[in-house]
Amino acid sequence: MAEAFEPKKIIVTGGAGFIGSNFVHWVVDNQPGVHVTVLDALTYAGNRANLDGIPEERMTFVHGDICDAPLVDELFAHADAVVHFAAESHNDNSIADPAPFVRTNVEGTFTLLEAARKHKVRFHHISTDEVYGDLALDDPAKFTEDTPYHPSSPYSSTKASSDLLVRAWYRTYGVRATISNCSNNYGPRQHIEKFIPRQITNILCGIRPKLYGDGKNVRDWIHTEDHSSAVWEILTRGRIGETYLIGANGERGNIDVLRAILAGMGKGADDFDWVRDRPGHDRRYAIDATKLRTELGWVPKHTDFAEGLAQTIEWYRANPEWWQGAKEATEAKYAAQGQ
């Protein structure tokens, strides 16, 4: 096992987004000697309120773009590690307009890698299991670190591109980099365009939830706190140049997740509407996290999905001021797409 790396000053790109902000909270709560600089462009998915409650002495917030090379260079000159969450990440948006995904996910990652190379900053890149394409519903296989890339959407193809850039900068320039590809995160502070919070907030607003296609698409769910702890393990103890898959054996069909939400909110099992399927909709994702578990000894804590889902429902119920402002515009956009 590699000697433990002990960062004191880390940059978190996209730290005002869903999994980025949860990671920042996790670091502040669990790593008392670490100062975090958050770099976030505060696009629609970034929310400064996601970082509320973090002591000023523990975090510096910088409103900026990861494609802004002079700004990135200035920040990297004073850091010893970066955890790169920043990305355009919504599949439907990538299908409607791929251009921002190419700019942020590819050009932005390139800009960060060049700064990491110049300032010798440790680089951890957050990616997705979607780069591997999908699996058949009846296939017993799961994704591993050796699964060939086969992205389906503009989103997943730009994430695959960014992964390959990270690997090239490690191989060619010696950038001290690691990559993690994670399954679907859930938990507090997730934008309401995403599957679980959209269903929860629809019910809270008296809107019937909607389900794509036949509802049999399978996703591998992990609580965002477990994802955060895994990322920290990889950043501090992972082998340079290696990729680690992060998952918690949480495979569930979309219709099963929706019906669990309906049951948890006192609704009937069929109290939803079917809508036409998303173009190129991947059927199944499943993560084999054996390498992460055996090499670094990581284990998830949130293994009871029903309990984690109940906590997530309660968070959205208790924080309407966080999501209500975006709800009307989000649903109007989906209505225009027939979804």
197 has pLDDT over 90? yes
Domain presence at residue 169:
yes
Mean pLDDT of 153-181: 97
Q: Is there a contact between 188 and 175 (Cβ–Cβ < 8 Å)? A: no
275 has pLDDT over 60? yes
pLDDT tier at 284 (50, 70, 90 boundaries)?
Answer: very high
Domain presence at residue 59:
yes
Domain presence at residue 28:
yes
Instruction: Give me the amino acid identity at 184.
Output: N
Domain presence at residue 1:
no
**What is the CATH number for 99?**
3.40.50.720
Q: Is there a contact between 26 and 165 (Cβ–Cβ < 8 Å)? A: no
Choosing from 40, 65, 88, 129, the catalytic residue is 129
Structurally, the chain folds into a number of domains equal to: 1
DSSP state of 124: E
323 has pLDDT over 70? yes
Domain presence at residue 239:
yes
Choosing from 40, 132, 155, 225, the catalytic residue is 155
129 in active site: yes
285 in active site: no
Q: Is there a contact between 31 and 56 (Cβ–Cβ < 8 Å)? A: no
Mean pLDDT of 211-222: 92
- Residues 6 or more apart whose CB falls under 8 angstroms from that of 45 comprise 17, 18, 89, 90, 191, 193
- Structural domain harbouring 30: 9-191+221-250+286-306
- Residue 105 CA, chain-centre distance (Å), reads 13
- Residues 6 or more apart whose CB falls under 8 angstroms from that of 88 comprise 43, 94, 100, 101, 104, 105, 155, 158
Sheet containing 251-253, strands listed edge to edge, beginning at the edge strand earlier in sequence: 184-186, 218-223, 251-253
- Residue 4 CA, chain-centre distance (Å), reads 25
Average of per-residue pLDDT values in the chain:
93
Choosing from 40, 65, 130, 233, the catalytic residue is 130
Domain presence at residue 329:
no
Cα–Cα distance, 222 to 226 (Å, whole number): 7
279 has pLDDT over 90? no
CA distances from 207 to 84, 90, 287 (A): 35, 22, 33
Q: Which two tokens stand for residue 40?
A: 């976030």
Domain presence at residue 74:
yes
CA distances from 232 to 47, 193, 202 (A): 23, 27, 34
Domain presence at residue 181:
yes
Instruction: Read off the pLDDT of residues 72-89 as tens digits, 9 standing for 90 and up.
Output: 999 999 999 999 999 987
Range with the poorest average pLDDT among 84-98, 228-242, 252-266: 84-98
Cα–Cα distance, 34 to 288 (Å, whole number): 30
155 in active site: yes
Q: Is 88 helix (H, G, I), strand (E, B) or coil?
A: coil
Beta strand pairing status for 81-84 and 122-128? parallel
186 has pLDDT over 90? yes
